[in-house]
Amino acid sequence: MAEAAPFPIVDAHHHFWDLSLGKHPWLLREPWIHMRYGDYASIRRDYMPRDYFEDAQGFHVAKSVYVETEWDADDPGGEVAWVKDVMQRHGYPHAVVAQAWLDMDDVQQVLAGHAASGVVRSVRHKPTVTHSPHVPRGMPRGSMSDTRWRDGYARLAPLGLSFDLQVVHWHLPEAARLARDFPHTTIIVNHAGLPSDRSDAGLAAWRRSLECIAQAPNAAIKISGIGVPGQRWTAQANRQVVLDTISIFGADRCMFASNFPVDRLAGSFRTIVDGFRAIIAHLPETQQRALFHDNAVRYYRL
């Protein structure tokens, strides 16, 4: 067991859900969706602050950021209202990344409600993507190149909202263009750009994608969700991904995040936190604190 860190942790990406609400189709209905970690039966149950505190036992998680959970797409405001109630009852989380469908007719109303909530700092709409880097992309509905989607995205900056981006890494050059076109909107790349292909060629392509988006000064990245399908989380397996991400973005634009309970499918909270700490142990303490705490405070205005 590692010694306690000399600084508190801000968990920049985790989830809660109460399945009795009937608001999470992917956790409730058959057939199951495709999940990159495979079988997710073990997380198809309620996950609330008491469960998170149990997973994080022994660590000082001072603050945390709740990220939308693919709640009923017809009710994005309902998710924020529910999370605010959880905050009031449990003291966690401290900020919200809310669902927003940027290509829908009601996007202005939804975003205005999020901005007025007092807790939403960013929104997430997983853009339409291809499942291979070799598939022609074009401008399909819901993609980052879709004019209607971009019109919705343009509404974020005036409302003071950031954008959490979850796409496979070969779409990050497209995201880099988005960052250039909307320089006043911060893009926070989720899950290190999803480097699931750990072959030499796969990692080289992933690094090129990260280098592209990292050129945008309004881009940051969360190092989370980097488990390897079919394998348990280890520092050895993830060391190069963590160090390359920090090298490309700089320690001042990277954030640790647990992605719990989803990443419980890859390893325990302790395994992931201790592994991350071991990987960055050679860095100055100021940079370690930035990765675990200070950057998330800054980007999510905690």
In a domain, 132, yes or no: yes
pLDDT at 261: 98
pLDDT at 129: 82
Name 259's Cβ contacts closer than 8 Å, sequence gap at least 6.
13, 14, 15, 191, 224, 225
> How many Cα atoms sit within 13 Å of 273 on the Cβ side?
25
**Residues linked to residue 122 through DSSP beta bridges, in sequence order:** 97, 162
Amino acid at 90: H
User: Helix 76-90 and helix 107-116: axis angle, to 10°?
Assistant: 10
Using pLDDT thresholds of 50, 70 and 90, give the confidence band for residue 1. very low
Q: Please state, in angstroms and rounded to a whole number, the distance separating the CA atoms of residues 158 and 34.
A: 36
Helical (H) or strand (E) element with 271: helix 269-279
Using pLDDT thresholds of 50, 70 and 90, give the confidence band for residue 217. very high
Helical (H) or strand (E) element with 76: helix 76-90
Determine the structural domain holding residue 96 and report its residue range. Answer: 9-299
Helical (H) or strand (E) element with 61: strand 61-67
In a domain, 2, yes or no: no
Total domains present in the chain: 1
In a domain, 4, yes or no: no
CATH of the domain at 260: 3.20.20.140
In a domain, 222, yes or no: yes
In a domain, 255, yes or no: yes
Task: Using a cut of 0.85, tell me whether the model's pTM lies above it.
Answer: yes
In a domain, 3, yes or no: no
pLDDT at 2: 41
pLDDT, tens digit, 9 for 90 and up, residues 132-171: 675 555 668 889 999 999 999 999 999 999 999 999 999 9
| pLDDT surpassing 80 at residue 3 | no
In a domain, 130, yes or no: yes
Whether 154 and 182 have beta carbons less than 8 Å apart is answered as: yes
pLDDT at 133: 72
